[in-house]
Structure 1
Amino acid sequence: MLPKQIPNILSICRIGLSGMLLLLSANSFLFLIIYLLAGITDVADGYIARKYRWTSRTGALLDSLADAVFSLAILLIISLNFRTVITGNLLWLVLILTLKLCSFTTGLIRFRKAVAIHTIANKATGLLLFFFIPLVFFSISGFFIKAIFIICLLPAIEEFFIILCCEELNMNRKSIFSK
């Protein structure tokens, strides 16, 4: 194994950890440990890749795939175990998923590849969503959870407009206000 493959291995581990989460009771301590490990791999793969300049197209694709698999696993876990969170916020969830689908489709059409812009807002939303699961476990108020959904909508809008309007693709663009 080459050291520069470490970020890719961490992304692959996140995919495996996401699958493990589906097999565990959502209220168990082991679930939270595996969930925490998945979050650590998410932070570590990007940090290590940038710090040591071990970035690659394959790594970026694996990271995006691992993020998508993790997000889908969590969405499935929430919908199976905490149905009221989904039903009470269905409009916001549909809006976010629709925008993400529009961004994906627009990226494929305009740039002939899967596009995920690593904006500051997208990264902040990822961090917010990481803490979302423990908040749901501890039955934080519905108002707070609704606020998280609304906050998550904003980076989805930003990403869609960046992909729609940019002349040149920059996957590491910090915001709609930068280049």
Structure 2
Amino acid sequence: MFKNSHRDTLSRFRVALPLGLTTIRVVLAPLILVWAGNGRAGLPYVFCLILAFVTDYFDGVVARKLDVATATIRRYDSAADVIFYVAALTAVWLVYPEVVVQNWLGIVLVAGLEAIRVTTDFVKFRREASYHMWSAKGWNITLFAALTGLMGFGISGWLFRLPIVVGILTNMEGLAASILLPSWTHDVPTIFHAYRIRQRSKR
């Protein structure tokens, strides 16, 4: 009985650790909006970005290391990313609305492709995708750099436009993967992996 109790406790801890890391980003989302509400950002915003970036990396690593990278955990990870970055970009509008206006077309393209991709996922799979593609990781890196540069140091220009370009390419790859995949699958690194999964399903 003691062994079973110990095993259950250990199992709950293994699941709770990556979930806790992911939840940090959900908690940070309203905080950065509060800090940006006065029209300024600065170091508190940058600190939140760093913490979000670090937890975004390690929650997946920990989940795989502890062998608990289930579909539910990976979907929660994706949802937390969306919540945090929507809040982060809303904060940009609050502090630097002129930068958003200057780049409105690219932002609309990214948002439109994201909406099309999500709609495609729900129509085809009845739930959102959770691919965690390598291109999406690159998008996160460029977003981190752009938001840090702008909100921390007032730098925009090409640094802010870069994640828009990468975001368009990333969403196009995700949409192509959703079209190719015969059924819902999580953790699909690239479009080539999606193609191989499709080919295997035909055998």
Q: 1:49 aligns with which of 63, 66, 70?
A: 63
Point out 4+ residue stretches in structure 1 off by more than 3 angstroms: none
Q: 1:23 aligns with which of 22, 34, 38?
A: 34
- Provide Cα deviations, 1:115-137, integer angstroms capped at 9, x if missing partner: 13211101111121112211113
Letter in 2 for 1:70: F
> What is the DSSP-based 3-state SS (H/G/I as helix, E as strand, rest coil) of the residue aligned with 1:86?
helix
- Provide Cα deviations, 1:8-44, integer angstroms capped at 9, x if missing partner: 1111121001111111144332232232222221111
Assess, with a 3 A threshold, how the Cα gap between structure 1 residues 97 and 116 changes in structure 2: closer, same or farther.
Answer: farther
Structure 2: stretches of 5+ with no match in the other structure: 1-8, 197-203
Q: Are 1:152 and 2:167 an aligned pair?
A: yes
Shift of 1:141: 4.6
Q: Distance in 1 between matches of 2:42 and 2:138?
A: 27
Q: 2:13 aligns with which of 3, 16, 20?
A: 3
> What is the DSSP-based 3-state SS (H/G/I as helix, E as strand, rest coil) of the residue aligned with 2:41?
coil
Does structure 2 retain, via aligned residues, the 8 Å contact 1:18–1:38? no
Q: Distance in 1 between matches of 2:121 and 2:57?
A: 25
Structure number with larger C-alpha Rg: 2
- Provide Cα deviations, 1:73-96, integer angstroms capped at 9, x if missing partner: 011001111112211111111111
Q: Are 1:118 and 2:132 an aligned pair?
A: yes
Q: Distance in 2 between matches of 1:8 and 1:44?
A: 11
Q: Which residue of 2 aligns with 1:172?
A: 187
The alignment's TM-score, normalised by the length of structure 2, stands at: 0.81
How many pairs does the alignment contain? 179
The alignment's TM-score, normalised by the length of structure 1, stands at: 0.91
Letter in 2 for 1:15: V
RMSD: 1.7
- Percent of matched pairs sharing the same residue: 25
Shift of 1:144: 3.3
Q: Distance in 2 between matches of 1:144 and 1:29?
A: 18
